[in-house]
Amino acid sequence: MAEVVEGKKAPQFTLPASTGQRISLKDYRGKSHVVLYFYPRDMTPGCTKEACSFRDLGKEFAAAGAVILGVSTDDLSSHEKFTKAHHLTFPLLSDNDAKVSTKYGVYKEKNMYGRKVMGIERTTFVIDREGVVRRIWRKVKVERHADEVLDFVRNL
């Protein structure tokens, strides 16, 4: 499988969303930039902080012509609880079988308390209106990350 790299087309996908819809990357073609962020788990401290940071900057992202989409392997029920608990204003996509996460190269072996487990490595992609990956942040540190992504999107 080809690696996802900046300057190349983003892999297409369609996933069920916390909004009750099925969302495809192609839905935004010609309309919006897409901030596609992959995160490990709903309701965990780092993932909650990241989601709330994107939520808090939602109007600024919209003003910059971008939509935010969060992706994890959690199911829709978990996404709905997470959305409701933290008043999230953007869709969370359920990648239960990790096919999309694998396609984007973010589903990896991780070391959790000395055990090897498979899971999502926190990663953010900015995809432009033409479906091209413009920026990738790998092994994201949550602190100020949403601000950095917003600054990048504003300059697209």
Q: Which sequence positions are flagged as catalytic?
A: 47
Q: Give the DSSP letter of residue 37.
A: E
Contact by Cβ (8 Å): 34, 41: no
| Integer Cα distance of 80 and 57 in angstroms | 20
> Residue 56 belongs to what H/E stretch?
helix 45-56
Pair of tokens at residue 78? 């978990």
CA 64 to centroid of chain Cα atoms: 17
